[in-house]
Chains A and B, each alone.
Chain A
Amino acid sequence: MRGADYVLKRLVFAVLTVFIAVTINFALFRLAPGSAVTNLARVPHATPQTRLALKRQFGLDKSKFQQYVIYLQQLAHGNLGISFANSQPVSANLRTALINTIPMVFLGTLFAIVLGTITGIISAWRRGTKAEGASIVTALTFYSMPTHWLGLMLVILFAGVLPTGGMSNEFLINPSFTTHVRDLAEHIALPALTLGLVLYGEYTLIVRSAMLETLGEDYVLTARAKGLKPWAVLRRHALRNAMLPITTLIALSLGYIVAGAILIETVFSWPGIGRAVYDAVLQRDYPMLQGAFLVLTISVVFFNLIADLLYFRLDPRITE
Chain B
Amino acid sequence: MSVAVRQPGPVIESEPIRSRRGIVWQTIKQRPSATIGAGILLVVVVCAVLAPWIAPYDPHEQVGPVFGHPSWKHPLGLDDGGIDMVSLLMWGCRISLVVGFAATFVSMVIGGTVGVAAGYFGGRTDNVLMRITDYFLVIPDVPLMIIVAAIWGPSLFHIVIVIGILLWTSTARVIRAQVKSVRERVYVKRARALGAGHSRVILRHVLPQVAPLLIANTVLTIAVAIFDETALAFLGLGDPSRISLGKVIENAFQRAAISTGAWWAIVPPGALVAVIILGCSLLGGAIEDALNPRLRVAHLSARSFKLRPLVGRGPEAV
Q: Give me the interface of A with B, judged by CB distance under 8 Å.
A: 13, 17, 20-21, 24, 28-29, 31-33, 140-141, 143-150, 152-153, 155-156, 159, 199, 201-202, 205-206, 209-210, 213, 245, 248-249, 252-253, 256-260, 262-263, 266, 274, 277-278, 281-282, 289, 292-293, 296-297, 300-301, 304, 307-308, 311, 315, 317-320
Contacts and interface: CB of A to CB of B under 8 A. Distances in A.
Given A146-B274, A149-B230, A308-B318, A140 B146 contact: no
Interface residues of B, number: 57
B9 A319 contact: yes
9 closest cross-chain pairs (CB), A and B: A149-B270, A259-B140, A144-B277, A144-B278, A32-B151, A296-B140, A145-B274, A256-B305, A260-B305
A162 to B, nearest CB: 14
B147 A289 contact: yes
Contact of B147 (A263, A281, A320): A281
A249 B307 contact: yes
Nearest to B307: A252
B307 A28 contact: no
B36 to A, nearest CB: 9
Interface string B275-312: 10110011001000000001010111101111110100
Contacts of A249: 298, 307, 310
Contact of A144 (B281, B294, B310, B314): B281
A262 B21 CA distance: 40
Given A256-B305, A278-B235, A318-B315, A141 B274 contact: yes
B304 to A, nearest CB: 6
B14 to A, nearest CB: 18
B151 A152 contact: no
17 contacts: A32-B151, A141-B274, A143-B300, A145-B274, A148-B231, A149-B270, A152-B266, A155-B258, A205-B298, A248-B318, A256-B306, A259-B142, A277-B143, A281-B147, A304-B308, A307-B318, A311-B317
Interface in B113-171: 131, 134-135, 137-143, 146-147, 150-151
B57 interface: no
Contacts of B304: 260
Nearest to B275: A144
Contact of B278 (A141, A159, A199, A317): A141
A246 to B, nearest CB: 11
Contacts, number: 168
Contacts of B91: none
Contact of A28 (B147, B266, B285, B305): B147
Q: What does DSSP make chain B's interface, helix, strand, loop or mixed?
A: helix
Contacts of A245: 296, 298, 310
Contacts of B105: none
B138 A301 contact: yes
A20 B128 CA distance: 14
A33 B147 CA distance: 11
A140 B318 CA distance: 22
B113 to A, nearest CB: 21
Nearest to B141: A259
Nearest to B259: A159
A319 B135 contact: no
A319 B234 contact: no
Contacts of B273: 144-146, 149
A199 B301 CA distance: 11
B231 A256 contact: no
B72 to A, nearest CB: 24
Contacts of A32: 147, 150-151
Contacts of B142: 259-260, 262-263, 274
B133 to A, nearest CB: 11
Given A256-B140, A293-B143, A300-B140, A153 B150 contact: no
B313 interface: yes
B75 to A, nearest CB: 19
B146 A277 contact: yes
A315 B313 CA distance: 9
B235 A149 contact: no
A206 B298 contact: yes
Contacts of A277: 140, 143, 146
Contacts of A210: 296
